[in-house]
Structure 1
Amino acid sequence: MMESIRDRWAHHGIEMSKSDNYDPELVKHGASARRKKGRHTSKHGENSSPFSLARSVAVAMAIRFLVTVMLGSAMIINSLFNQGTPDSLTGSYCGPCPKNWICYRNNCYQFSNESKSWYQSQASCMNQNSSLLKIYSREDQDFFKLVKSYHWLGLVQIPANGSWQWEDGSILSANQLTMVKMQNGTCAVYGSNFKAYTENCLNPNTYICMQRSV
């Protein structure tokens, strides 16, 4: 009887062993898959945050760059159209001038691209409440030493004594301009480096109108 009981228990043990049996390779594969999945999830989670941060930094830098460019452009445009800019470098005041005129050391200038006779040029300046260019002082009008083209001056020769006179009636002095005789004429054009050249008044030339802003 005892042998019969042992046989039944042994048979029952075999049944349990079969029912509880597992494949070690399958278990190993499942564990490995879970570890890989965990690593993939962890890696994705770690990378997503730095990527978002880098993208935000890039966008912020791009916006800052655009704002800087816009501000710089506005400052450049403002300096180009600010008529007091040349004089502001010296720290002194430059009074108001007509639109599109150049203001320099309290004088207003307009450089015309039209070529006219001296008389036509004078009339054009008078219509704008101004006169043809006069050099008052080489120091105060020093930027004219860089002018290269020929422009009519408000300067004519008096036939009686041969002296040169400005439109306002004052006589040309040696410290204002150096007069160079180029051809027969009783009018003068400005060349460069404070030199004036004699010219036939009927010849066409560009001209410079001038206003005293004070």
Structure 2
Amino acid sequence: MCHTHHTMTSTRDRTSQHSSEMSKYNNYKLRPTSRNASPGQQKQRSALPTSKPRENGIIRRNFPIGELKISPLFVTRIIAAAMAIRFLIITLIWFTIFLTYGFCTQCPDDWLYYRNNCYQFFNESKSWNQSQASCLSQNSTLLKIYSKEDQDFFKLVKSYHWMGLFQTQANGSWQWEDGSTLSPNELTLVEMQRGSCAVYGSSFKAYTEDCSTLNTYICMKKAV
């Protein structure tokens, strides 16, 4: 009995020792390996940001070198500045036109003001004498070209209009209603047909015309 008990005790001790060794072995296998990082690796890891920096709720991203960074606010400001400049330019243009070509109180209603003179284009067709009388009734005269610089907008006229230029019977010279003689610097006179009156065409050219022919006409007078 004692031998048997001793044998059983020895067997139990071996079994217990074996179980203890197996448990240590298993614990050793299941334990996660932990390696101590070198100081350089720890410094490198600590330098890495754990999350993207935020300022006022906005994530700031680091763009690579050479990549253009344009914010929507910058684009909006550029557009607003361009529109403001465009508005200023348009305003200056209209102001200049008003001062140069403007319709103002210096001329009667529906008359065109241009460089201290008032002009009116009449669409009704009349003879030269009738056109002259119509202008006189409105305290004006038929058109006179006295300066290509001061009347440069007349180069754009395309149709024919009676003007205050006629041929005198005394010596056949051409003169204006105010008695001044036609100067080559004022306009070019082109003989189209026999006549002692002239119509204005375009590009500072006048054309001879029979005075009884019906044409539209232009009146002018000094602005007050």
TM-score category, normalised to shorter length: 0.5 to 0.7
* Aligned length in residues: 133
| Aligned mates of 2:146, 2:97 — CA distance in 1 | 18
**Per-residue displacement from partner, 1:24-70 (whole Å, max 9, x unpaired)?**
xxxxxxxxxxxxxxxxxxxxxxxxxxxxxxxxxxxxxxxxxxxxxxx
Of residues 185, 200, 221, the one that matches 1:190 is: 200
Matches within 5 A, 1:64-143: 86=97, 88-89=99-100, 96-143=106-153
| Aligned mates of 2:97, 2:221 — CA distance in 1 | 16
Matches within 5 A, 1:159-170: 159-170=169-180
Task: Report the AA paired with residue 188 of structure 1.
Answer: A
Contact 2:100/2:114, CA 8 A, preserved across alignment: no
Determine what percentage of the aligned residue pairs are the same residue.
68
**Per-residue displacement from partner, 1:111-156 (whole Å, max 9, x unpaired)?**
0000000000000000000000001100000000000000001011
Structure possessing the higher radius of gyration over alpha carbons? 2
Contact 1:155/1:167, CA 8 A, preserved across alignment: yes
Moved more, 160-169 or 197-206: 160-169
Q: Does 1:200 align with 2:206?
A: no
Query: In 2 relative to 1, CA 213–89 (structure 1 residues): closer, same or farther, beyond 3 Å?
Result: closer
Task: Give unpaired runs (5+ residues) of structure 1.
Answer: 1-71
Instruction: Give the alignment's Cα RMSD to 1 decimal.
Output: 2.6
| Aligned mates of 1:121, 1:143 — CA distance in 2 | 22
Query: How far did 1:159 drift?
Result: 2.2
Query: How far did 1:87 drift?
Result: 5.7
Q: Report the TM-score, using the length of structure 1 for normalisation.
A: 0.57
| Aligned mates of 2:96, 2:164 — CA distance in 1 | 26
Query: In 2 relative to 1, CA 141–159 (structure 1 residues): closer, same or farther, beyond 3 Å?
Result: same
Of residues 147, 153, 159, the one that matches 2:163 is: 153
Matches within 5 A, 1:9-88: 86=97, 88=99
Query: How far did 1:95 drift?
Result: 7.0
The structure 1 segments of at least 4 consecutive aligned residues displaced by more than 2 Å after TM superposition are 84-87
Task: Give unpaired runs (5+ residues) of structure 2.
Answer: 1-86
Contact 1:153/1:190, CA 8 A, preserved across alignment: yes
Query: In 2 relative to 1, CA 118–89 (structure 1 residues): closer, same or farther, beyond 3 Å?
Result: closer
| Aligned mates of 1:212, 1:113 — CA distance in 2 | 21
Task: Report the AA paired with residue 101 of structure 1.
Answer: W
